[in-house]
Amino acid sequence: MIQASPVTRELFDDVMVPNYAPAAIVPVRGEGSRLWDQNGREYLDFAGGIAVNVLGHAHPRLVAALTEQAHKLWHVSNVLTNEPALRLAQKLCELTFAQRVFFANSGAEANEAALKLARKYAADHFGPDKREIIAFTQAFHGRTLFTVTVGGQPKYTEGFEPLPPAITHAPFNDLATFAAAISDRTCAVILEPVQGEGGVTGATPEFLQGVRELCDRHQALLIFDEVQCGNGRSGHLYAYMGYHVTPDILTTAKGLGGGFPISAMLTTAPIAASLNVGSHGTTYGGNPLGCAVAGAVLELISDPELLAGVRRKHARFMAGLRAINERFGVFRDLRGQGLLLGCELEEPWRGRSRDFIKAALDEGLLVLVAGPDVIRLAPSLIIPDELIEAGLERLERAIARLAAG
């Protein structure tokens, strides 16, 4: 009998492709907004699996939904439909502008579907010359070759050339430059209402409204990537609702499954018609397990009381972060919506966001980066107030240690 190797962080370096650099700890259990590692040490989770664990770890309603479905039906592929997928799609249509839903497994896949649909719709209705896609600097839309090109950050495309053509980028929140870029050749415009990986930067209402009007004028589809800022994270079920600007296509993932891999592309019936039978697909998309869990998530996060709680917790976080900054002066800017928060670092701390992540981990707190200059917080939407305060105390201790050299 072959003796299994001990499962340690060192094993990662022996068996995994080196495209990640995970922290030194290995979590083994989670409950609510707490995690425990192999040594039994507790951590407070302000990272949320990168904005995924909207209801924390092992939420009993999600565990029950997954367990119940696991005893019924796991997978049938898309040669058959299934009840959890249909119920989830119906609920998404009831709660949003959408009339049609496509399920996939990740944010990148949802965005890939949205971009393909936009080009197909343009080809069907306007001919082959209308194929240009406009995106924005500092965007992030996924890691497929198409979506990483649309994201437009060179660090994610270097070495993967040649890249898909007819994709251009304009500065975010710069309506005049965008107006000069869009034309009748533009088939789609894609943006994050709140840029996540690019630094937790929210669109201004004037910018989003102007983009919507220019898309209408040039008959271009407007795609909102709400993979990170959607599913209650902004304090609204979807961020577009807070802006009162409705897209033609919306993509959602991350928090939709509360930790179970699932994503969706939402659109209207006339636009959806261009994805006719056989034009696009995915083996696992819409599988019963993922849709059952996502249905439970959606039922909980669409509760107006929960969404109001997100907005209240935002204010609590911001007050605590301002108090920390009054003492240490490390943040140039504090921004974000709901429970997607960005702390931009002041000189001389710029470029050192990972030092803060390491110091926080040493204090038993999980936080994120959003580039080299921004610390990102994306905790559970239902994190108790006392854990917000406890986590901010740990963050303050980490910052104090860094400030002391």
Q: Which residues are catalytic?
A: 140, 225, 254
Report residue 131 as tokens.
């194929």
Q: Angle formed by the axes of helices 288-301 and 304-328, to 10°? A: 80
- Of the candidates 154, 208, 218, 144, the one whose C-alpha atom is nearest the C-alpha of residue 181 is 218
The one-letter amino acid code at 87 reads: R
For residue 104, which phi and psi values (nearest 5 degrees)? -140, -155
Instruction: Tell me which DSSP letter residue 256 carries.
Output: G
Beta pairing partners, 249: 223, 267
Task: Compute the distance between CA of residue 72 and CA of residue 70 in angstroms, rounded to an integer.
Answer: 5
How far, in whole angstroms, is CA 395 from its chain's centroid?
23
Helix (H, G, I), strand (E, B) or coil at 236: coil
Helix (H, G, I), strand (E, B) or coil at 368: strand
- CB 181 within 8 Å of CB 134: yes
